[in-house]
């Protein structure tokens, strides 16, 4: 334990700004979300009626809401699968000493700096059903031009792909770092023991990088549930027929399009509970695996 | 192996090039079918048009708030981590927990009351509304805390013996040892602020305070055929600052963030 | 060194005092924010008009703010007014017709007629005491010259409160017409009748399809509830009950009517025969693009696009023709709803701002501005004076495409169907209708027979819409006996 500085007052002042910001802009609205969710509100407070758990009941009974929960699960499952397996695969390749690794690395990671909105715009441009280059190519080669925006399944696939594409770089960075931390001797020992490449990977490498995997699952889930809003707003606005209406987008519509602020607060509260569960899981797992160097 | 990498690189990097190509096409060229892939003649025109439609101002706005938040957040996180690692005080565990819990509160789960709060504080349509809610961060505090805890005790003790006070200690010892972490945090925070979408969409109502992401959304007129040339020009403009920062601080990002295990 | 320092200080002092004098000398004009939804090539038109207003009204500075679609603009307006302080509130907001009930319920806006009256009264009062300066006297003159009955009745009746007070200033109006690619039509020897029927469209569509050049469809219109509403009006069918929501709050969407079935069966047939291209959800831009890229030779869209479409078509090498909205039966054309938007004034902006905002709105409705707006955008001239001037100038003879819209309007019968519906939850109902079409399209493309698909989807839309209508009323505390 490093020796500490003396003083009880100074740490208070050091922490004060952080404390104030977090209380005012994070804790207060968070608590208020729960309170507001028990009311039915019209137009930002024009009328307020206490309904208790009424909003929650109507959400859980609403087929549209349950549908958007399902869409969110499919969306996140798809993005995680694509982005993490792709990330791991590419990290494995980049981990070898090959020429131009740095250039490849840069070229593969850059979408991290891209905003979801711009990613959405660019892929919308490419996949535009009637004027995009993909459909032109498909039309010429195979005489099919799928309606990427108008067909519910295809639209969902398109946003899954776009979201996974953008997050790929992030996953690569972390997996690469984790792979570089795998001690060579352990792998050598495994080889000596007669393990083949496949076994070496699954039983040794994958196990050793599993903390990173868990970390990425959590971070990627946060990304998929919350940060893809701009992408969805630009590409599909939740459609067609709610096929890409993930929970956060639905929340936005209910809260700020139709001004059902009580209902939207209930939706926020549900998302918060999900976050709590996720974070709790992450910290339980982390405590078992992570150590401070 | 090279083939896979090459193919993946194409899938990942090609869209940027294609977007850039798109930004060179004039209105008429963009309307042709089959779509043109060759560069068009409208590059300067498109960028100028997008800039004049308000994107220029919005680039400035985004730059301003991203810089302010990055600097502010880093400063606050450094101070908080200093307090948490190098001081003893009652309820320290609770304070840490207090900060930790905010990881579960991304913007959308508190968006409705946050909006009402900003409104009642008369912050509607101001830079402050964009900056204040983001000035404190659990991520930054954790990163620095973890980093500080990994600094050898001998150094700390040596500094204490020298009689340095905590702030001098921060400035002269800790910060010079933390450039990787600071660089990594700078990239993360700048990109995070630059890419903000939902909050500016709701709280900003005039173009002179709006951010670039929403500016892009507004380039699409709802009632007219979308002008891809100009929209792509706007997109390319919007990509440049975070991309440049990322490329510049790439090494710090890789080492400062990724190699230290999680938060 | 110290000499340079001294010079520097003196220069700074001079600069500072000069700027103080400058700032004090110029009273900054009153800042007025105008929220609108007119994007693309209409933005410069509006900005030039605003600049002209600012130049002729030196104590007011209007800034036009584009917020996206009508939905986006309404959302932004309500958010900005909810966000409280006077700095953020827009002073004038362009709200579309279907938002009328919702904005009346929100209580956020002042009634235009009352604002004008109050401003005139207070300024006349100051004037009689000799306290009104020249600039304000000019403003008073403008406001006094404003006359509600100058607006075209079919348009202004949409924007009257129950007691006849004007709620907002009608600004842009349009109705849907057919645009067709005359060059292609001529090439294949096909003619578009001036007043086509549903059957005409099917026949023409099949002829075009037979040429083999249009495999993805020949006709499109954005998947937007507006068109459905217009087709209801053409068939004399109220969209909702209780006098189309004007005699009392509605509780039922009339999607079980004969008119609904006729419309959707026709639409479904177009989908099934591969004649209709779906540009997307409220995708006005994509519909235009399909027409301009000559992928679809026929587009039904708003007359407000006339100028833009004609110009872009010309640049793309083809000529545009127009026709009336197609109907089931030419002997029973009831007419169209005069859709569009009006300028509303939020109440909480303070008296001075209200009067300046009213001045701008009144100015926009003056004959010169109305004519200019019409010519540069394609929206209807909303005042009878403007209309007479344009007719006298022979505008409509010279531009037959504009005449189509005008004729369609003048031939409209005045009844509850064409007055347009008043629904508080109109926005939600529109979304439900539009999603309903997407489901219908999916059903038909999946092989379901048109009649069956139409029956299923109409029922689904009706049920969802009725619930939305009633839920809205409940949330604002209205007890409608018609609602379950």
Q: Which residues of C180-218 are buried (b: 16+ CB within 10 A; e: fewer)?
A: bbbbbbeeeeeebeebbbbebbbebbeebbeeeebebbb
Residues 6 or more apart whose CB falls under 8 angstroms from that of B129 comprise B118, B123, B203, B204
> What's the gap in Å between the CA of B46 and the closest CA on chain C?
13
What's the pLDDT score for residue C181?
Answer: 94
All residues of chain A having their beta carbon less than 8 Å from the beta carbon of residue C216 are 130, 145
Whether the complex's predicted ipTM surpasses the cut of 0.95: no
Q: Which of B31, B119, B125 sits opposite C289 (nearest CB)?
A: B31
Query: In which band, very low, low, confident or very high, does the pLDDT at C22 lie, cut at 50, 70 and 90?
Result: very low
All residues of chain C having their beta carbon less than 8 Å from the beta carbon of residue A258 are 427-428
Contact between B99 and A261 using a beta-carbon 8 Å cutoff: no
All residues of chain B having their beta carbon less than 8 Å from the beta carbon of residue C68 are 217-218, 222
Q: Which residue of A has its CA nearest to B257?
A: A174
- Which of A129-133, C81-85, C159-163, C431-435 has the least mean pLDDT? C81-85
* CATH number, domain with residue A172: 1.10.3720.10
* Mean pLDDT along residues C15-26: 53
C-alpha distances in angstroms, B23 versus A4, A233, B57, C46, C161?
Answer: 57, 22, 19, 26, 48
> What's the gap in Å between the CA of A207 and the closest CA on chain C?
46
What's the pLDDT score for residue B260?
Answer: 46
Contact between C476 and A47 using a beta-carbon 8 Å cutoff: yes
N-terminal to C-terminal alpha carbon distance within chain B: 33
Smallest CA-to-CA distance from B137 within B180, B86, B81 is with B81
Phi/psi for C65 (5° steps) reads -120, 120
Would B10 be classed as within a structural domain?
A: no
Q: Which residue of A has its CA nearest to C478?
A: A47
> What's the gap in Å between the CA of B189 and the closest CA on chain C?
27
Contact between C295 and B33 using a beta-carbon 8 Å cutoff: yes
C touches which chains (3+ CB pairs under 8 A)? A, B
Residue C246 and residue C416 in contact, taking contact as beta carbons nearer than 8 Å: yes
Contact between A292 and B169 using a beta-carbon 8 Å cutoff: no
Q: How many CB atoms lie within 10 A of CB A184?
A: 7
Q: Which residue of A has its CA nearest to C437?
A: A241
Question: Which two tokens mark B131?
Answer: 């900056």
Q: Which of B34, B80, B151 sits opposite A14 (nearest CB)?
A: B80
H/E segment holding residue C312: helix C306-315
Count of CA atoms in the C-beta half-sphere (13 A) of B121: 18
Smallest CA-to-CA distance from C70 within C222, C179, C251 is with C222
pLDDT digits (tens, 9 = 90+) for A20-37: 999 999 999 999 999 999
β-bridge pairing C320-323 and C92-96: unpaired
C-alpha B145, offset from chain centre: 21
Would A70 be classed as within a structural domain?
A: yes
Asked if the model's pLDDT at residue B205 lies above 50, the reply is yes
Contact between A275 and B109 using a beta-carbon 8 Å cutoff: yes
Q: Identify each DSSP E strand in C147-220 by its residue range.
A: 169-174, 176-181, 219-220
CA B193, B232, A146 angle in degrees (round to 5)? 105
Q: Is A22 helix (H, G, I), strand (E, B) or coil?
A: helix
Ranges under pLDDT 70 in chain A: 1-3, 44-46, 286-293
- Distance separating alpha carbons of residues C40 and B226, to the nearest angstrom: 9
Chain B positions with Cβ closer than 8 Å to C: 27-28, 31-33, 53, 115-116, 118-120, 122, 124-126, 202-203, 205-207, 217-218, 220-227
What's the pLDDT score for residue C316?
Answer: 84
- Distance separating alpha carbons of residues A106 and A115, to the nearest angstrom: 17
What's the pLDDT score for residue B224?
Answer: 62
Q: Which residue of B has its CA nearest to A267?
A: B109
What's the pLDDT score for residue C27?
Answer: 62
Would A67 be classed as within a structural domain?
A: yes
Chain A with chain B: Cβ pairs closer than 8 A: 273
Contact between A133 and B111 using a beta-carbon 8 Å cutoff: no
A58 touches chain C (CB under 8 A): no
Would A271 be classed as within a structural domain?
A: yes
A145 touches chain C (CB under 8 A): yes
B touches which chains (3+ CB pairs under 8 A)? A, C
All residues of chain A having their beta carbon less than 8 Å from the beta carbon of residue C278 are 147, 150
Q: Which residue of C has its CA nearest to A64?
A: C464
Q: Which residue of B has its CA nearest to C83?
A: B119
Q: Which residue of A has its CA nearest to C74?
A: A257
pLDDT digits (tens, 9 = 90+) for C251-269: 999 999 999 999 999 999 9
What's the pLDDT score for residue A292?
Answer: 38
Query: In which band, very low, low, confident or very high, does the pLDDT at B138 lie, cut at 50, 70 and 90?
Result: confident
Contact between B120 and C72 using a beta-carbon 8 Å cutoff: no
Q: Which domains does chain C have, with CATH numbers?
A: 3-173+339-393 (3.40.190.10), 176-335+416-483 (3.40.190.10)
The total of structural domains in chain A comes to 1
Query: In which band, very low, low, confident or very high, does the pLDDT at C178 lie, cut at 50, 70 and 90?
Result: very high
N-terminal to C-terminal alpha carbon distance within chain A: 13
pLDDT digits (tens, 9 = 90+) for C415-440: 888 888 989 899 899 999 999 999 99
Contact between C79 and A240 using a beta-carbon 8 Å cutoff: no
Would B41 be classed as within a structural domain?
A: no
For A177-222, give the secondary structure using H, E and C.
Answer: HHHHCCCHHHHHHHHHCCCCHHHHHHHHHHHHCHHHHHHHHHHHHH
Beta bridge partners of C180: C298, C321
Residues 6 or more apart whose CB falls under 8 angstroms from that of C120 comprise C140, C143, C144
All residues of chain C having their beta carbon less than 8 Å from the beta carbon of residue A257 are 71, 75, 427
Q: Which one of B76, B95, B108, B158 makes the best mutation probe of the A interface by having the most chain A beta carbons within 10 Å?
A: B108
Long-range contacts of C135-139 (CB under 8 A, 24+ apart): C135/C57, C135/C58, C135/C59, C136/C59, C138/C57, C139/C57, C139/C355, C139/C359
C287 touches chain A (CB under 8 A): no
Average pLDDT, chain B: 83
Asked if the model's pLDDT at residue C60 lies above 80, the reply is yes
H/E segment holding residue C299: strand C298-302
The total of structural domains in chain B comes to 1
What's the pLDDT score for residue C23?
Answer: 47
- Which of A21-25, B259-263, C236-240, C462-466 has the least mean pLDDT? B259-263
> What's the gap in Å between the CA of B149 and the closest CA on chain C?
44
Computed on alpha carbons and rounded to an integer, the radius of gyration of chain B in Å comes to 23
- Distance separating alpha carbons of residues B41 and B60, to the nearest angstrom: 27
Would A247 be classed as within a structural domain?
A: yes
By CB atoms closer than 10 A (0-12, 13-18, 19+), residue A49 is middle
Which DSSP symbol is given to A143? S
- Distance separating alpha carbons of residues A269 and C278, to the nearest angstrom: 37
What's the pLDDT score for residue C462?
Answer: 95
Asked whether the CA dihedral C233, C235, C236, C238 is positive or negative, the reply is negative
My answer on whether omega of the bond before B34 falls inside 30° of 0, hence cis, is yes
Would A11 be classed as within a structural domain?
A: no
Domain span holding position B116: 51-213+234-258
> What's the gap in Å between the CA of B51 and the closest CA on chain A?
16
Greater confidence, A201 or B209?
Answer: B209
> What's the gap in Å between the CA of C80 and the closest CA on chain B?
7
B93 touches chain A (CB under 8 A): no
What's the pLDDT score for residue B225?
Answer: 63
What's the pLDDT score for residue A288?
Answer: 65
Q: Which of B102, B107, B239 sits opposite A114 (nearest CB)?
A: B239
Whose tokens are 């790439």? That residue is B250
Domain span holding position A167: 35-289
Contact between A242 and C295 using a beta-carbon 8 Å cutoff: no
pLDDT digits (tens, 9 = 90+) for C105-134: 888 899 999 999 999 999 988 888 888 888
Q: How many CB atoms lie within 10 A of CB C120?
A: 18
pLDDT digits (tens, 9 = 90+) for C312-321: 888 888 999 9
Contact between B225 and C292 using a beta-carbon 8 Å cutoff: yes
Would A17 be classed as within a structural domain?
A: no
For chain B, give the secondary structure using H, E and C.
Answer: CHHHHHHHHHHHHHHHHHHHHHCCCCHHHHHCCCCCCCCCCCHHHHHHHHHHHHHHHHHHHHHHHHHHHHHHHHHHHHHHHHHHHHECCCCHHHHHHHHHHHHHCCHHHHHHHHHHHHHHCCCCCCHHHHHHHHCCCHHHHHHHHHHHHCCCHHHHHHHHHCCCCHHHHHHHHHHHHCHHHHHHHHHHHHHHHHCCCHHHHHHCCCCCCCCHHHHHHHCCCCCCCCCHHHHHHHHHHHHHHHHHHHHHCHHHHHHHHHCCCCC
A239 touches chain C (CB under 8 A): yes
Contact between C285 and B226 using a beta-carbon 8 Å cutoff: yes
* CATH number, domain with residue B171: 1.10.3720.10
Phi/psi for C86 (5° steps) reads -60, -25
Contact between A239 and C476 using a beta-carbon 8 Å cutoff: no
Would B244 be classed as within a structural domain?
A: yes
Smallest CA-to-CA distance from C103 within C86, C71, C78 is with C78
- Torsion angle of C-alpha atoms A71, A77, A80, A82, degrees rounded to 10: -100
- Distance separating alpha carbons of residues B254 and B256, to the nearest angstrom: 6
Q: Identify each DSSP E strand in C314-362 by its residue range.
A: 320-323, 339-346
Beta bridge partners of C346: C109
B109 touches chain A (CB under 8 A): yes
């Amino acid at each position: 334990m490093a020796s500490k500085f003396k003083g009880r007052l100074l740490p208070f002042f050091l922490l004060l700004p952080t404390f104030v910001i977090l209380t005012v802009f994070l804790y207060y609205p968070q608590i208020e979300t729960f309170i507001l969710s028990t009311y039915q509100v019209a137009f930002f407070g024009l009328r307020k009626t206490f309904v208790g758990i009424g909003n929650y009941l109507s959400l859980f009974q609403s087929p549209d809401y349950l549908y958007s929960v399902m869409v969110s699960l499919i969306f996140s499952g798809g993005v995680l699968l694509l982005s993490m397996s792709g990330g791991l695969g590419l990290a494995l390749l980049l981990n070898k000493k090959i020429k131009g690794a740095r250039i490849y690395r840069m070229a593969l990671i850059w979408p991290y700096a891209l905003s979801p909105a711009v990613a959405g715009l660019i892929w919308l441009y490419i996949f535009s059903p009637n004027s995009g280059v993909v459909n032109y190519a498909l039309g010429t080669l195979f005489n099919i031009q799928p309606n990427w925006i108008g067909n519910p399944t295809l639209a969902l696939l398109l946003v899954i792909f776009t979201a996974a594409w953008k997050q790929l770089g992030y996953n690569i960075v972390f997996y690469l770092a984790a792979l570089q931390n795998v001690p060579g001797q352990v792998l050598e020992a495994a080889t000596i023991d007669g393990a083949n490449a496949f076994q070496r990977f699954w039983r040794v490498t994958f196990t050793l990088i599993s903390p990173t995997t868990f970390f990425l699952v959590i971070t990627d889930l946060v990304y998929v549930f919350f940060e893809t809003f701009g992408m969805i707003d630009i590409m599909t606005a939740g459609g067609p027929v709610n096929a890409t209406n993930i929970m956060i987008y639905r929340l936005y519509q209910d809260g700020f399009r139709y001004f059902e602020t009580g209902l939207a607060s209930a939706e926020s509260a549900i998302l918060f509970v999900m976050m709590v569960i996720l974070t709790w899981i992450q910290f339980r797992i982390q405590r078992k695996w992570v150590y401070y160097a | 192996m090279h083939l896979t990498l090459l193919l993946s690189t194409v899938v990942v990097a090609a869209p940027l090039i294609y977007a850039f190509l798109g930004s060179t096409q004039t209105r008429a060229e963009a309307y042709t079918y089959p779509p043109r892939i060759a560069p068009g003649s409208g590059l300067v025109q498109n960028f100028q048009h997008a800039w004049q439609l308000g994107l220029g101002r919005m680039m400035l706005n985004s730059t301003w708030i991203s810089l302010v938040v990055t600097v502010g957040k880093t400063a606050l996180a450094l101070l908080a981590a200093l307090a948490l690692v190098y001081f003893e005080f009652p309820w320290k565990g609770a304070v840490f927990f207090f900060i930790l819990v905010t990881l579960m509160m991304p913007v959308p789960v508190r968006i409705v009351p946050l909006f009402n709060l900003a409104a009642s504080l008369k912050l509607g349509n101001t830079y402050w509304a964009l900056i204040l809610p983001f000035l404190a961060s659990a991520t930054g505090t954790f990163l620095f805390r973890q980093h500080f805890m990994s600094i050898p005790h001998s150094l700390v003790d040596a500094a204490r013996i020298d009689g340095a006070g905590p702030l001098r200690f921060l400035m002269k010892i800790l910060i010079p040892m933390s450039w990787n972490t600071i660089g990594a945090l700078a990239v993360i925070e700048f990109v995070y602020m630059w890419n903000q979408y939902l909050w500016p969409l709701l709280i900003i109502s005039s173009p002179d305070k709006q951010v670039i992401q929403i500016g892009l959304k507004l380039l699409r007129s709802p009632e007219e055929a979308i002008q891809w040339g100009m929209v792509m020009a706007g997109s390319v403009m919007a990509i440049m600052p975070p991309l440049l920062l990322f490329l510049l601080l790439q090494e710090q990002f890789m080492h400062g963030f990724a190699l230290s295990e999680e938060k | 060194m110290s000499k340079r320092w001294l010079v520097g200080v003196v220069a700074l002092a001079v600069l500072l005092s000069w700027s103080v004098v400058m700032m004090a000398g110029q009273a900054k004009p009153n800042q007025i924010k105008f929220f609108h939804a007119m994007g693309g090539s209409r933005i410069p038109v509006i900005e030039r008009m605003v600049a002209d207003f600012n130049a002729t009204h030196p104590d007011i500075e209007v800034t036009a703010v584009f917020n996206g679609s009508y939905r986006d603009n309404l959302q932004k307006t309500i958010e900005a007014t909810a966000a409280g302080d006077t700095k953020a509130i827009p002073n004038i907001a362009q709200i579309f017709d279907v938002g009328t009930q919702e904005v009346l319920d929100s209580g956020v806006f002042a009634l235009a007629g009352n604002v004008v009256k109050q401003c005139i009264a207070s300024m006349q009062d100051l004037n009689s005491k000799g306290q009104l300066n020249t600039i304000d006297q000019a403003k008073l003159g403008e406001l006094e010259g404003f006359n509600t009955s100058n607006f075209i009745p079919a348009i202004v009746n949409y924007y009257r409160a129950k007691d006849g007070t004007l709620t907002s200033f009608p600004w842009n109006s349009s109705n849907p017409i057919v645009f067709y690619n005359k060059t292609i039509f001529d090439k294949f020897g096909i003619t578009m009748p001036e007043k086509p029927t549903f059957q005409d469209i099917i026949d023409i569509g099949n002829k075009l399809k037979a040429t083999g050049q249009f495999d993805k469809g020949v006709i499109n219109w954005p998947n937007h509830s507006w068109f459905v509403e217009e087709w209801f009006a053409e068939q004399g069918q109220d969209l909702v009950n209780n006098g189309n929501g004007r005699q009392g709050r509605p509780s039922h969407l009339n999607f079980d009517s004969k008119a609904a079935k006729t419309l959707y069966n026709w639409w479904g047939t177009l989908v099934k025969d591969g004649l209709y291209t779906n540009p997307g959800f409220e995708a006005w831009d994509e519909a235009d693009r399909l027409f301009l890229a000559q992928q679809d030779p026929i587009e039904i869209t708003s007359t407000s696009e006339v100028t833009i479409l004609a110009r872009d078509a010309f640049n793309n090498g083809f000529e545009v023709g127009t026709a009336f909205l197609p109907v089931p039966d030419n002997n029973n054309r009831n007419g169209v709803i005069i859709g569009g938007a009006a300028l509303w004034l939020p109440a909480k902006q303070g008296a001075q701002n209200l009067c300046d905002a009213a001045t701008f709105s009144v100015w926009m409705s003056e004959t010169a501005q109305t004519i200019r707006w019409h010519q540069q955008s394609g929206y209807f001239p909303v005042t009878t004076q403007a209309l007479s001037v344009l007719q006298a100038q022979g505008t409509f003879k010279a531009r037959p495409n504009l005449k189509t819209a005008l004729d369609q309007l003048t031939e409209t019968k005045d009844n509850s169907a064409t007055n347009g519906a008043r629904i508080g939850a109109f926005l939600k109902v529109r979304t439900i209708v539009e999603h309903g079409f997407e489901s219908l399209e999916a059903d038909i493309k999946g092989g379901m027979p048109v009649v069956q698909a139409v029956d299923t989807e109409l029922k689904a839309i009706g049920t969802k819409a009725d619930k939305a209508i009633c839920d809205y009323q409940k949330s604002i505390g209205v007890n409608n006996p018609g609602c379950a």
